[in-house]
Every structure is written in C-alpha cells, then in structure tokens.
C-alpha cells in the first residue's frame, strides 16, 4: 500500500524559495497529479451540442464575417471541462462546424494536423485534396490528411455545413502545428477514387511491379454505401447494433494516423453498451433519435447533434428510432503509443 506523499507545505519556506530560484520543483507533491493510481483522471467533461441551437449562430457568422476574413468560417465545439473558448472537444480531438455559402471558396492550405469532414447539410459543397475534387454529400466522410493541400468550394444554392474533426490538439501539444497558404488548386477532371479505383469493396487497382500505392488512396467515403452496408449487417446481426470501421482500402488499417472512425447503426429500441475504453470519443448523429448516458448523465440526441465522452467513460446509447451515428475516436493514436485498453464494465 502506497504511503501518503509529502506536500509542498511540509517543506521549509527558504528551501522552497531556493528550489524556485534554481528552476526546479519537488516531484512528490505533484506525483499523483501526473500519475494517478489505476486510471487517468480526465480534464475532459462529456459535451453535448444541439445542432438546432448552433445552426442559427453559424448562419449569423455567415452574415457577420466574410470567408475572406475567416479563412475557415468555423464555430469550435469547446470541451465543457476546459471551458468557453477551448480549442478542443477532448484531449486529442478538435471539432468545429464549418459554414460555406454558395459561390464561396475557402483558400488552399496545407497543415501538419489531419482532418475529416462529416457533411451535415447542403448540396454542392466540395473539397479539393491534392487536385482531386471530392463531392460533399450529406453524411459523407471526406479526408484531408496532414501534409495534403486542400481547399473548399461550393457550387450549390444553399448554405453547406459540415463537421470538422481534427487531431489539432495533439499537434498543438507537440508544438508541431502550422499551416502553409497557397493558391486554389487545379482540379483533375475525373471523379474521385471512391467512384473509380475503389468503387467496389474488395477490389483495388491491380498491383504493378515496382509501383507503390498512395498513402491515402481514397479520401471520400460516400454515406449512401456506408448506410447500405450497415443496413445489410443489421439484418444479419443479433442485438440490434451494427458497427463498421472506416479503413484504408489498400491496407485495411485506420484511415488516419491518430483518428479512427466507426459507423454505427443502433436499431429502434436497442442499446449499445460498449466496454470502458481508454480512447476518447465524439459521436455525430447522422440520423435518428435516442438517449446517451455518459458517466451517469443522460442526454437526448437527435439528427445532426454531436456529443463527446472522455477516456474510460461508461457509455450507453439507446435508440428510439433506427439511429445512425459516426463515432470519432483516438484509438489509432493510442495503439501506436502502445496503451489502448478496454475494461469490462
């Protein structure tokens, strides 16, 4: 059994002053802060963002701030545990809702963090990644991996809104976050790889000797196919919960280095009751209603809402009608660091 550790107050004033002057501090009074026993003590608190409440604020940003003055017109979803203005939703995941108006473009840039867009509403938006034009339809996942040039445009007639998920907090923590600006990219005149090379799951372009594959071969995951796959799986799965991981079609591994994405379908009346996971998560509701209980606190979710769960949360999700949810998590990062863990409830 561990002893209770000494405190700063146990130490004489003159010794404390001398340590401070020398630029050092005793570990033992701080030991449990940085190494709590048994499990982490997250700063992150569960968050819930009601889309209907945020939508008018985003439209107002469209009136108040031209895209040229914003570069990216985004309202950031701040972790309640870190308070107003926090540039993160969990320790590792940044979330923002981005508005693009008809005819607008958001200039090209490249940055060290990776992003995924989940399209919330509107027709005609697109993202160009490394010259490939990716149409943005409701529910689509569109990747802009770190180091890839990207810009956004809008050929439709109504505002387009999408959810940005970035591993920005990790890069900020590492003092590795920066961007480079550039001119809008020339677009290749052909459909994106999800409609050409990877139209059919299980098929990939034939290997050619000495020719490697792209690191990010497919940067758009159309929602229509995801939903069809979930429905088919649900029809043949007991328990009412079907889950599919988004994977790189060449390697079968996670689609980005730090962030993972899972599409879930919870049938009306069914409950998802996963083990405690060491990963943090954000849930974005594509369709459906239900109740999420996170560490004993319940919230009602509806279409287009977003909510978060800190590491090792006790999560249950119950659907009222068939619910389709994308779970964003940081398990890929934790796998790479060698500590991803699940614990039975």
Site residues (vs ligand GTQ, CB under 6 A): 72, 74, 96, 98, 111, 115, 164, 166
Using the minimum distance from each CB to ligand GTQ, give the nearer residue, 181 or 321.
181
Query: Edge-to-edge, what's the strand order for the sheet holding 160-166?
Result: 74-76, 94-100, 160-166, 115-121, 141-144, 220-221
Please state the closest distance from residue 105 (CB atom) to ligand GTQ, in A: 12
Q: What is the DSSP letter of 10?
A: G
Please give the Cα distance from 179 to 174 (Å, whole number).
15
Please state the closest distance from residue 98 (CB atom) to ligand GTQ, in A: 6
C-alpha atoms less than 13 angstroms from C-alpha of 317 in its C-beta half-sphere: 32
The torsion angles phi and psi of 333, rounded to 5 degrees, stand at -65, -45
Using the minimum distance from each CB to ligand GTQ, give the nearer residue, 109 or 225.
109
Please state the closest distance from residue 144 (CB atom) to ligand GTQ, in A: 6
Using the minimum distance from each CB to ligand GTQ, give the nearer residue, 221 or 312.
221
Q: What is the dihedral of CA 291, 305, 148, 247, to 10 degrees?
A: 30
Please state the closest distance from residue 71 (CB atom) to ligand GTQ, in A: 8
Q: What is the DSSP letter of 111?
A: E
Using the minimum distance from each CB to ligand GTQ, give the nearer residue, 91 or 93.
93
Please state the closest distance from residue 97 (CB atom) to ligand GTQ, in A: 8
Using the minimum distance from each CB to ligand GTQ, give the nearer residue, 162 or 312.
162
Please state the closest distance from residue 241 (CB atom) to ligand GTQ, in A: 30
Give DSSP secondary structure letters for 211-275. Answer: B---SS---EE-HHHHHHHHHHHHHT-TTSEEEEE-B-TTT-SBSSSS-EEEEEEE-TT-EE-PP
Using the minimum distance from each CB to ligand GTQ, give the nearer residue, 74 or 326.
74
């Amino acid at each position: 059994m561990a002893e209770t550790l000494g405190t700063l107050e146990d130490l004489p004033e003159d010794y404390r002053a001398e340590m401070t002057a020398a630029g050092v501090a005793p570990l033992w009074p701080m030991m449990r802060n940085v190494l709590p026993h048994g499990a982490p003590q997250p700063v992150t608190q569960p968050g819930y963002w009601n889309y209907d409440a945020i939508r008018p604020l985003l439209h107002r940003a469209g009136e108040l701030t031209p895209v040229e003055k914003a570069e990216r017109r985004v309202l950031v979803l701040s972790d309640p545990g870190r308070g107003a203005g926090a540039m993160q939703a969990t320790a590792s995941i940044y979330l923002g809702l981005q508005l693009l108006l008809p005819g607008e473009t958001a200039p090209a840039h490249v940055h060290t963090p990776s992003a995924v867009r989940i399209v919330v509403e509107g027709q005609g938006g697109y993202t160009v990644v490394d010259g490939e034009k990716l149409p943005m339809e409701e529910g689509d996942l569109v990747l802009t991996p770190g180091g890839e040039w990207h810009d956004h445009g809008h050929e439709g007639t109504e505002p387009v809104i999408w959810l940005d998920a970035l591993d920005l907090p990790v890069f900020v923590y590492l003092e590795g976050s920066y961007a480079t600006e550039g001119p809008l990219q020339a677009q290749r005149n052909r459909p994106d790889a999800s409609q050409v090379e990877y139209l059919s799951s299980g098929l990939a372009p034939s290997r050619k000797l000495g020719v490697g594959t792209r690191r990010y071969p497919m940067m758009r995951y159309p929602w229509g196919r995801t939903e069809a796959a979930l429905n088919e799986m649900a029809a043949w799965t007991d328990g009412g919960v079907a889950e599919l991981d988004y994977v790189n079609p060449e390697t079968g591994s996670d689609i980005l280095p730090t962030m993972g994405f899972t599409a879930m379908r919870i049938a009306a009346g069914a409950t998802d009751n996963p083990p405690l996971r060491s990963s943090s998560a954000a849930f974005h509701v594509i369709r459906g209603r239900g109740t999420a209980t996170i560490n004993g606190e319940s919230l009602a979710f509806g279409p287009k809402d977003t909510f978060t769960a800190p590491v090792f949360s006790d999560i249950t999700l119950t659907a009222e009608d068939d619910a389709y949810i994308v779970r964003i998590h940081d398990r890929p990062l934790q796998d790479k660091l060698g500590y991803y863990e699940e614990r039975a409830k």
